[in-house]
Amino acid sequence: MIAAGCSKEKPAVSTAAPAAVNAVEKKKGVASTLSFGGYTWVINAPTGQTYPGPNYWNGSYAWVDANGWMHLKAAYNSATGHWECAEVYTTASLGYGTYQWQVEGTLGSFDKNIVLGMYNYSGNDQHDEMDIEIARWGNAAWDNLNYTIWPATGVTASPGVYTASFTTPNGTYTTHRFKRTSTSVKLQSLYGFQDGDANQFQTATFNSPGTSISTLSMPVHMNLWLYGGSAPSNGQNVEVIIHSFKFTAL
């Protein structure tokens, strides 16, 4: 079993209002912005290979369609001869509340090298991060649903990690969410598009002080990338559609 933060590729061992932080720009070469879910999202499109992965990134592999849905793609680009990936993050920093994504895609049957990340992240590696990741981290036998809570800055504790396996027996629609408070993070995954708790198939709750929950307000990230920068073992391009992202503050 292994878990890795979406914002990097480093394995993990299995009251007061949040303070604001600036939007993260870990990789240079930002292409443009998109409007989605009531927020402005920066498309991260750096030059060359950068982490996570490391991978090549393509600014045209993240877009919003006429329905207002966000698409993320990882695909082979014959013009460059590289597999390239997509990443976006909000210009706004968000704090305590519920973060929810409604996703269309064959997540339960992703290739072992595909990673979909939906997470809150301050930019400080191995700290201040709440992850939902769909990934097998290069091993087809490993679980494909990963919840990881990285500790607050200044705390040396190991991250809280929960993994499980899932399929999508009723189609390609799933909902994923987490609720942040000053002392806990509750994560959930559900079949179908849900605003309530119907058809929940996995959940986990992390509590402080054991996991030392971050109190920071942070940008929201979404990315679709290749573990270790390795091409999908099946050689197939991958695309997911985020029908909605919703944040409900406490």
Residue 116 belongs to domain with CATH number:
2.60.120.200
68: in domain? yes
- Please compute the mean of the pLDDT values over residues 185-211 and round it to a whole number: 96
Q: What is the pLDDT of residue 26?
A: 41
166: in domain? yes
Q: Total structural domains in the chain?
A: 1
Q: What is the pLDDT of residue 210?
A: 87
Q: Which residue has the tokens 């498309």?
A: 43
- Please compute the mean of the pLDDT values over residues 143-168 and round it to a whole number: 96
- Please compute the mean of the pLDDT values over residues 185-207 and round it to a whole number: 97
Residues 6+ apart with CB under 8 A from 20: 93, 217
237: in domain? yes
- Please compute the mean of the pLDDT values over residues 73-87 and round it to a whole number: 98
21: in domain? no
Q: Which of the residue ranges 21-25, 156-160, 164-168 would you say has the lowest mean pLDDT?
A: 21-25
Confidence band of 31 (pLDDT split at 50, 70, 90) = low
Does 11 have pLDDT greater than 50?
Answer: no
Confidence band of 208 (pLDDT split at 50, 70, 90) = confident
Nearest to 106 by CA among 169, 162, 53: 169
169: in domain? yes
How high is the mean pLDDT of the chain?
90
- Please compute the mean of the pLDDT values over residues 53-60 and round it to a whole number: 97
- Please compute the mean of the pLDDT values over residues 194-201 and round it to a whole number: 97
Q: What is the pLDDT of residue 29?
A: 45
195: in domain? yes
23: in domain? no
The tokens describing 54, both together, are 């490391």
The dihedral over CA atoms of 94, 137, 190, 75, expressed in degrees to the nearest 10, equals: 80
Q: Which domain holds residue 108?
A: 3-12+30-249
Q: Which pTM was predicted?
A: 0.89
25: in domain? no
Does 1 have pLDDT greater than 50?
Answer: no
Q: What is the pLDDT of residue 170?
A: 83
